[in-house]
């Protein structure tokens, strides 16, 4: 069941607190040791996670999200206390000097495929070994799945291991791949190529719908999921070991002042912390640098791409459930790696998107506008004509693969899923590998907490798993395209059809993506056609379809390390590339009163894609989490 934090500053008067509640949970008033009243929520009959779109928050001091027996408490040698409840052992609550804290055995950041797979596997192990570990998942989206975007042709290998009965449990996986085509596009033609993807046995799905289902399965096992809470900081002990995360303060105005509804963030402390934030996770990035996790295994820098996607509803006569199409070539130039996808889902829906590697050179290139051009290609346009766009979104993805996987274990926890980077580039799939990494981390976590082993077992298990074997075979595909499109095609064909991933060498990646951007004087501006409103659209129209929403009166979560760099370097040398690589028009250069162009940041537009954090030429933009619940609201992506 969903259990939400209900805590507030002790200085706040009880009558001024807004009650945090959900319509399907029953409040039970009880007394705390201090004599204050609080509400414990427990489930009557859990509905789908997708029924909840938002909520108010209240934080009542001394209040527990579960019904618990306050008289039974155990103290552990590490200083954590645990309360025994009616449904087994759960976590404890305490009030620190500056904020309130709740303690768990395991805290997981991110309710995506990796985080939820880890949570489910932990609870399965508890059942198998007759153990009881409290597991909390914190998610910055307003609901589970709200920030999840992927193609997605799903390989069920990891799910078969995790939940083998998924076909009998109404998993939203019901459109098997029926055809698999691969085209090379020129401006006016489509040339058929042999398909290297081998999608037999895979399914066309919505990943945001799948993680909602996984969230429900996790809750059935006793996992506590808290959507709408952003993990904004890492918590350490005196030995520099990670002991949990802190959530964002709520009710802070744009100028940094506290509003009437101010609520201090909560400390969620765990004996083990797992970071499953997805690609370019902000906390994961900090820990990689702090503990030098890449250097520890001589991993290369990560490389990235930006995926831009729409879901359409098309004419029934054109719809072919399970049909899969990938393309290379146009509209991208021969020096820019990327391609498009078009998948036929269920209910007359298709997903169409363009993936553009972020090591592109031309600062005038605009991935959003390239995607709009794609939809007018003769091989795609007839399918979309007469259709309707249902949803729009964008997200970056890891492409570094085997060479870029960092050491995933840090003192007190581990990095899992796309935060570490397990995407198989030639397969164009990462969900199955992300899930498997979460399952392996869960097994190492259980061993650490219950059997006296350590988290390094996760790294050992990962290198002995099919994930590692798969990434090793695929390691040379992406760096092959550093030499251009056609040399890349030749090298990747050699890898796939002749060497079969067993080449005696490992190619290296080129420059980091931000360093790959050329200065503007080496290129000419690109003139993009105006949108027609039928197949192609302007950014505001698309942004509306993403259901993106942020509280306008909050500090900007997109921060400039040096406020002078946008005008003195980005604009003067690179022609302001942030105004083009962002797929949500967050960054605009606007004339001031002296008619001088100044960077304006429209943070409320942010899709949480992380492209700016990656592509800014001087790494001057830092992406941080906004207030929980903000961002896109995906439902079919």
What is the set of active-site residues?
Answer: 150, 395, 431, 582, 606, 609, 612
Cβ atoms of 127 and 117 closer than 8 Å? no
**Alpha-helical runs (H) found in 501-547:** 539-545
- Tell me the CA distances in angstroms from 618 to 47, 85, 517, 565, one per residue in order: 47, 52, 10, 8
What's phi and psi for 592, nearest 5 deg? -90, -170
What are the structure tokens assigned to 255, written together? Answer: 């100028």
In 110-144, beta strands by DSSP E:
135-139
What's phi and psi for 471, nearest 5 deg? -65, -35
Using CB atoms within 10 Å of the CB of residue 115, give its burial: 0 to 12 exposed, 13 to 18 middle, 19+ buried.
buried
Strands 388-398, 304-313: pairing kind: antiparallel
Kindly state the greatest CA–CA separation across the chain: 75
What are the structure tokens assigned to 12, written together? Answer: 């706040």
Cα of 623 vs its chain's centroid, Å: 13
Cis bond leading into 269, ω under 30°? no
User: Following DSSP, what letter does each residue of 157-197 receive, concatenated?
Assistant: HHHHHH-TTGGGTT-S---B--EEEEEEE-SS-EEEE----
**Alpha-helical runs (H) found in 494-615:** 539-545, 565, 572-574, 578-581, 611-615
Strands 100-109, 92-95: pairing kind: antiparallel
Q: In what order do the strands lie in the sheet with 304-313?
A: 190-193, 179-185, 323-329, 338-344, 349-357, 304-313, 388-398
Long-range contacts of 43-47 (CB under 8 A, 24+ apart): 43/1, 46/1, 46/2, 46/216, 46/219, 46/220
Alpha-carbon distance of 304 to 338, in angstroms, equals 11
Cβ atoms of 523 and 362 closer than 8 Å? yes
SS3 state of residue 88 = strand
**All residues at 6 or more sequence positions from 566 whose CB lies less than 8 Å from its CB, including other chains:** 560, 576, 578, 589, 598, 599, 620
């Amino acid at each position: 069941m969903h259990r939400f934090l209900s805590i507030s500053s002790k200085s706040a008067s009880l009558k001024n607190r807004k009650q945090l509640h959900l319509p399907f949970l029953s409040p039970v008033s009880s007394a705390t040791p201090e004599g204050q009243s609080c509400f414990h929520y427990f489930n009557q009959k859990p509905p789908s996670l997708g029924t909840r779109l938002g909520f108010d928050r209240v934080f009542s001091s001394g209040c527990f999200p579960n019904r618990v027996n306050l008289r039974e408490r155990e103290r552990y040698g590490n200083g954590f206390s645990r309360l025994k409840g009616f449904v087994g052992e759960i976590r404890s609550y305490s009030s620190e000097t500056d904020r309130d804290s709740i303690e768990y055995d395991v805290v997981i950041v991110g309710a995506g495929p990796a985080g939820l797979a880890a949570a489910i596997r932990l609870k399965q192990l508890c059942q198998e070994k007759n153990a009881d570990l409290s597991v909390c998942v914190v998610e910055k989206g307003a609901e589970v799945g709200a920030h999840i975007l992927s193609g997605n042709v799903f390989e069920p290998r990891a799910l078969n291991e995790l939940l083998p009965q998924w076909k009998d449990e109404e998993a939203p996986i019901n459109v098997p791949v029926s055809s698999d085509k691969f085209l090379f596009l020129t401006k006016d033609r489509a040339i058929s190529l042999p398909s290297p993807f081998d999608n037999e046995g895979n399914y066309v799905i919505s990943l945001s719908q799948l993680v909602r289902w996984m969230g429900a399965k996790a809750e059935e096992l006793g996992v506590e999921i808290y959507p709408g809470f952003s993990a904004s900081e890492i918590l350490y002990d005196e030995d520099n070991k990670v002991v949990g995360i802190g959530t964002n303060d709520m009710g802070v105005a744009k100028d940094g002042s506290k509003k009437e509804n101010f609520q201090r963030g909560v400390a969620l402390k765990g004996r083990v912390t797992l970071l499953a934030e997805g690609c370019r996770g902000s906390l994961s990035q900090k820990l990689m640098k702090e503990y030098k996790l890449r250097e520890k295994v001589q991993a290369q820098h990560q490389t990235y791409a930006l995926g831009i996607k729409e879901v359409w509803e098309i004419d029934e006569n054109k719809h072919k459930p399970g049909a899969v199409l990938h393309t290379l070539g146009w509209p991208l130039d021969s020096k820019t790696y990327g391609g498009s996808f078009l998948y036929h889902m269920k209910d007359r829906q298709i997903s169409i998107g363009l993936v553009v590697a972020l090591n592109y050179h031309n600062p005038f290139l605009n991935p959003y506008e390239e995607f709009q051009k794609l939809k007018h290609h003769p091989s795609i346009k007839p399918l979309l004509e007469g259709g309707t766009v249902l949803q729009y979104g964008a997200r970056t993805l890891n492409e570094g693969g085997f060479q870029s996987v960092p050491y995933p274990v840090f003192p007190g926890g581990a990095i899992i899923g796309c935060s570490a980077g397990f995407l198989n580039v030639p397969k164009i799939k990462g969900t199955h590998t992300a899930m498997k990494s979460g399952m392996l981390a869960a097994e190492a976590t259980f061993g650490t907490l219950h059997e006296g082993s350590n988290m390094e077992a996760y790294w050992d298990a990962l290198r002995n798993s099919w994930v590692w074997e798969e990434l090793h075979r695929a390691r040379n595909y992406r760096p092959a395209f550093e030499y251009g499109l056609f040399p890349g095609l030749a090298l990747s064909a050699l890898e796939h059809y002749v060497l079969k991933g067993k080449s005696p060498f490992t190619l290296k990646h080129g420059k980091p993506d931000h360093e790959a951007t050329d200065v503007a004087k080496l290129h000419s501006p690109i003139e993009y056609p105006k949108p027609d409103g039928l197949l192609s659209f302007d950014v505001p129209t698309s942004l509306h379809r993403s259901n993106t929403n942020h509280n306008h009166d909050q500090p900007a979560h997109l921060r400039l390390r040096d406020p002078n760099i946008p005008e003195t370097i980005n604009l003067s040398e690179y022609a302001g590339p942030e105004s083009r690589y962002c797929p949500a028009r967050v960054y605009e250069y606007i004339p001031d009163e002296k008619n001088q162009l100044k960077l304006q940041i429209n943070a409320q537009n942010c899709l949480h894609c992380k492209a700016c954090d990656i592509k800014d030429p001087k790494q001057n933009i830092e992406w941080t989490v906004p207030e929980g619940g903000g961002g896109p609201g995906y439902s079919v992506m």
